[in-house]
Amino acid sequence: MILHRCFAWNKSARDDATDGPLWFPRTYQGDGRHDNPDSYGCLYLTDRPVSYIAEQLAAFRGQQLIASLLRRRGLPLALADIELDDNAILIDLDDPATLSAERLRPSRVATRARSVTQPQALALY
């Protein structure tokens, strides 16, 4: 399966080095919806490139799009394709059967309340 990641890219970084496409940015984790950096590294991915692009641009809705909005920590945003091992175990929190099995409600999974989503993610981990 090919997944996609949007990240601040340093062209001179090795793939797995800081600001490379395979780098797990644990130093910047903790504020994300599913982050629990003391227990695991979290890499936010999507199965459609357009989803990540829309997420990055959503915050600027109604504004004029200028190049500086497409930078993080002074680095340009890039989109990387990452091949996931076919044997990897995924938990699809967009699947009603998964939500039912895990006793989760869509409104509680999709919330911006980190005090709700981070404990859910830790329990699933």
Per residue in 98-113, pLDDT (tens digit) is 999 999 999 999 888 9
* pLDDT exceeds 90 at position 91: no
Q: What range does the domain containing 67 cover?
A: 2-87
Q: Is the pLDDT of residue 74 over 90?
A: yes
Alpha helices in the chain (DSSP H): 49-58, 96-101, 106-109, 114-124
Same domain, 97 and 75: no
CA dihedral sign of residues 96, 101, 102, 107? positive
Residues 78 and 96 in one domain: no
Q: Please tell me whether residues 59 and 114 are part of one structural domain.
A: no
Give the long-range contacts of residues 121-125, CB within 8 A, separation 24 or more.
121/33, 121/34, 121/35, 121/36, 121/42, 122/36, 122/39, 124/91, 125/36, 125/39, 125/40
pLDDT of 118 strictly over 90: yes
pLDDT of residue 75: 94
Q: Tell me: do 12 and 68 sit in the same domain.
A: yes
Residue type, position 14, single letter: R
What's the total number of domains in the chain?
2
